[in-house]
Amino acid sequence: MNDQRNDPLGALRKDFPSWRFGTVWATAASGPDKCRVTAYRDGVLLSAWNAAELAGKLRHEEGQGPRP
């Protein structure tokens, strides 16, 4: 069974069930690959470099927290 460390999107899906989540990988020949996580709902697209940052943006979007 995956835990939050192995499946950060699983935790986001559980905490924010009305959003759709995904990842976008940025690659460069000269450096390490980076993963960007995304959330989409009702024409709103949010993205961040990690799940914790995205969770803060989602809380703000839903009126539950300060602007990240």
pLDDT in tens, 33-57: 888 999 999 999 999 999 999 999 9
d(CA 9, CA 27) in angstroms, rounded, equals 20
Q: Are 27 and 48 in contact (CB under 8 A)?
A: no
Domains in the chain: boundaries: 8-61
Q: Over 50: is that where the pLDDT of 4 sits?
A: no
Q: Over 60: is that where the pLDDT of 16 sits?
A: yes
Indicate whether this model's pTM tops 0.85. no
d(CA 40, CA 13) in angstroms, rounded, equals 11
Distance of CA 2 to the CA centre of its chain: 17
- The closest of 30, 29, 26, 54 to 40, measured between CA atoms, is 54
Using DSSP's 3-state secondary structure scheme, residue 14 falls into helix
